[in-house]
Amino acid sequence: MAERFRIPFIHHITKGRFLYLLITLLLYVALVPLLEAFVKLRLLMNIFFTATMLAGIYAVSQKRNQFLPALIIAIPTIGLGWINQFVQSALLTFADNFFTILFLGFFIAILLLTIFEAHEITTDIIYAAIVGYLFIGLMWASVFAILENFFPGSFNMSQDFTMQTFTYFSFVTLTTLGYGDIAPLTVQARSFAFIEAVIGQIYLTVLIARIVGIHISQSKEKRSREG
C-alpha cells in the first residue's frame, strides 16, 4: 500500500518542465559559495550557470516560439561567459553581463506568462514562481555589475568586486533585508537598488494574489461539479 502511494506521489512532484531548472538554480545559488574554498569560484559559477541556462532551454523546448529565442540568447551568453573566464576584458565583461540580463529577463517574462495563463495550481506553477524570484535576483546582480563598471565607486564594498558579491547584494536588496555591509553610494546605484526592492515586493504580492485567485476558482469549480 505504501509503495503504491509513494510512486504516484514521486511522479507527481517530479513532473513539470521547470523542476530541473529549479534544481540547477538552487545548486548555483546555494553551493557556489560553500565550495569556494575547494575550487576557483569564477570557474564554478560558470559551470553551474551554464547548467542553469541549459535547464532553462530544456524547460521551454516544447514550445517553438519560446525555444528559438531562448536558444538564440543563450548561445552568446554561454560563449561570452566562458571566454570571459580566460580572457580578462572590460568589454567582454560588459557583454557577458548584458546578455545575461537579456537571458534572465526573457525567462522571467516566460515564467510570469506561464503563471498568469495557468488555470490550476500545480507543482510546475510553484516551481515557476520560485525560479522567477531567483532569476530576478540574479538579473539585478548583473545590472549592478554593469553599473559599477560604468560608474566606479557606486558601492562601498570593502571586498573585491566579484559577481558573487553583486549576487549577495542583489538578494539582500530584493528581500529587503538591508544588512548595511554593502550600500549604494551614487544616485544611480540608489535608484536601481530602490527599483529592485520595489519589484521584489510587487512580485511576491501579485504572485500570491494570483495563486490565491486560482485556488479559489478551483475550489468553486470543484464544489459546482460535486453539487
Q: What is the pLDDT of residues 174-222, one digit of tens each?
A: 998 878 788 899 999 999 999 999 999 999 898 888 888 877 776 766 6
Question: Looking at residues 17-44, what average pLDDT do you find?
Answer: 77
Q: Class of the 16-215 domain?
A: mainly alpha
pLDDT by residue (tens digit) across 65-75? 888 999 999 99
Q: If you search the block for the grid coordinates 551614487, which residue do you land on?
A: 186
Alpha carbons 155 and 162: distance in angstroms, whole number: 12
Q: What is the pLDDT of residue 39?
A: 60
- Rg (the chain; Cα; Å): 20
Residue 100 has pLDDT above 80, yes or no: yes
Alpha carbons 176 and 89: distance in angstroms, whole number: 33
Indicate the average pLDDT of the chain.
82
**Residue 140, C-alpha cell as written in the block:** 539585478
Question: pTM of the predicted model, to two decimals?
Answer: 0.85
Alpha carbons 126 and 25: distance in angstroms, whole number: 14
pLDDT band at 38 (very low <50, low <70, confident <90, very high): low
**Residue 101, C-alpha cell as written in the block:** 540580463
Q: What is the 3-state secondary structure (H, E, C) of 146-159?
A: HHHHHCCCCECCCC
Write phi, then psi, for 160 (nearest 5 degrees). Answer: -65, 150
Alpha carbons 147 and 136: distance in angstroms, whole number: 16
Structural contact between residues 124 and 15, judged by C-beta atoms closer than 8 angstroms: yes
Q: If you search the block for the grid coordinates 573566464, which residue do you land on?
A: 85
Count other Cβ atoms within 10 Å, centred on residue 58. Answer: 16
Q: What is the pLDDT of residue 223?
A: 66
**Residue 193, C-alpha cell as written in the block:** 537598488
Any idea where the domains of the chain sit in the sequence?
16-215
Q: What is the 3-state secondary structure (H, E, C) of the chain?
A: CHHHHHHHHHHHHHCCCCHHHHHHHHHHHHHHHHCCCCCCHHHHHHHHHHHHHHHHHHHCCCCHHHHHHHHHHHHHHHHHHHHHHHCCCHHHHHHHHHHHHHHHHHHHHHHHHHHHHCCCCCHHHHHHHHHHHHHHHHHHHHHHHHHHHHCCCCECCCCCCCHHHHHHHHHHHHCCCCCCCCCECCHHHHHHHHHHHHHHHHHHHHHHHHHHHHHHHHHHHHHHHHC
